[in-house]
Structure 1
């Protein structure tokens, strides 16, 4: 697993496997959010299989499949709700980028664009291409 901290309570990761469930629980996470569409992965890595393993380990599990086309304000709000839990949340997708992008979009207008981009960069995600979008959202 390659878990990267975005904030003290929100972390991201590339694709998880069912065998990761207990280690995720042991690491102190309380909720896992799947941001990867099932169409991108084989059945063993689809949300139903991963979710069953996470729930069996005592974790909450949410699914919000994201693509570039589904980074809508509605989905940003849903993800922001999923990121609120009684402990750390781990969101995953193919590389962790989409889970970081949706966090960044949710922070527009709350944090400066530079702070958002620097936070993502510290976790290893270059979201510089989002600067115009983040600036526009901050102004709106």
Structure 2
């Protein structure tokens, strides 16, 4: 794989400085707010990313609601984003799914 990415489960705002220290340049969030109690708010994660100098994008969808528009929005952002990229959702499964869908549809630059 030529892309420099990591896919993970839910991150928190207090983890953002460590993510930046580990060399990530961009975060893509695939998890909508309110999926479970005590889930960090996306606005708080976005603010922490901005403070740490990281690019941040939300392509939000419930696990069973992935569609063509999500994949295209993800791919458009992914292709212009500075790597390495950290992509997250609740467990990493939907982030893996959107990344793989974009690859299969040949939407990602090499």
Q: TM-score range with shorter-chain normalisation? A: 0.7 to 0.9
Residue 83 of structure 2 aligns to a residue in which SS? coil
Instruction: Give runs of ≥4 in structure 1 deviating > 6 Å.
Output: none
Greater share of helix: 1
Matches of 1:56 and 1:13, distance apart in 2: 21
The aligned length equals: 105
Could you tell me how far 1:13 is from its partner in structure 2? 0.8
Give the aligned partner of residue 130 of structure 1: none
After TM superposition, list the pairs within 5 Å mapping 1:1-140 onto structure 2.
8-42=3-37, 45-84=40-79, 85-110=81-106
Give the unaligned 5+ runs of structure 1. 1-5, 111-140
Q: Structure 1 residues 11, 42: CA separation in 2 closer, same or farther (over 3 Å shift)?
A: same
Matches of 2:96 and 2:39, distance apart in 1: 24
Residue 23 of structure 1 aligns to a residue in which SS? helix
Q: Return the index of the structure with the highest Cα Rg.
A: 1
Could you tell me how far 1:8 is from its partner in structure 2? 3.7
Moved more, 36-45 or 62-71: 36-45
Could you tell me how far 1:7 is from its partner in structure 2? 5.7
Give the unaligned 5+ runs of structure 2. none
Matches of 1:12 and 1:45, distance apart in 2: 18
For normalisation by structure 2, the TM-score amounts to 0.84
